[in-house]
Amino acid sequence: MTRIIDLTHPVSKGDHGVDFEDTMTLLRDGWNARTWRLYSHSNTHMDAPKHFIDGGGTIDNTPLETCIGPAWLIDLGQVQSRQLHTVADLGDYVDKIQKGDRVILKTGWEHRFGTDEFRDELPRISKELAEWFAEKGIILVGVEAPSVADVHDLEEVTEIHRILLGANITIVESLKNLHTIEQDKIEFIALPLKLKDGDGSPVRALARV
């Protein structure tokens, strides 16, 4: 039986870069409507090359073929704070991953969502692994952390994003519920808002297993 698993953190007022006001109310105006202030990289989201590359591709031009399709779900175990993911961590998947594949890293980091540690102590993709993904020619990488690199280290966060995005690897960050999936191959879906010239967008991410 096919299951659809929601991999998306809810967008809530007070989250990083998220706010709203009730512009219209049912009692006063006859209907409810809100005006949202939404950071393009809040909660579960997708990065476009423009995020770190001058003149890079925009989120509205991200190929839909990249956003939907089979993905390797690789369990890295319960990782430590600030751990660097390496090629060796992929184990036997080093020989399985091929050009055009999608790779999702399962780390258990989603359980720290809502804590300072989630953003400040996140595990990261090493330069070695980022370059390996680029050389392999994968088309998408997904992580449970809010970023693939240390958001407090401009040099690192710039380098890793530029390696991945420069190789046309779409990045999806802040995934959840990966711990509910036991199999290592899923159909992954993550669709961004079609924001004109956007550098990124929140997504509704799903797994079909």
Question: What is the CATH classification number for the domain harbouring 55?
Answer: 3.50.30.50
155: enclosing H helix or E strand? helix 154-166
- Residue 19 belongs to a domain: no
Residue 24, C-beta contacts closer than 8 angstroms, at least 6 positions apart: 30, 31, 32, 33
- What pTM value is reported for the model? 0.96
User: Count of CB atoms within 10 A of residue 67's CB?
Assistant: 20
Structural domain including 70 reads 4-11+40-208
- Residue 21 belongs to a domain: no
State the Cα torsion 10-43-112-107 to the nearest 10°.
110
Q: Is residue 24 helix, strand or coil?
A: strand
- Residue 178 belongs to a domain: yes
- Measuring CA to CA, which residue among 175, 192, 190 is closest to residue 74? 175
What is the total count of domains within the chain? Answer: 1
User: Tens of pLDDT along the chain (209 residues)?
Assistant: 899 999 999 999 999 899 999 999 999 999 999 999 999 999 999 999 999 999 999 999 999 999 999 999 999 998 999 999 999 999 999 999 999 999 999 999 999 999 999 999 999 999 999 999 999 999 999 999 999 999 999 999 999 999 999 999 999 999 999 999 999 999 999 999 999 999 999 999 999 99
- Residue 32 belongs to a domain: no
- Residue 35 belongs to a domain: no
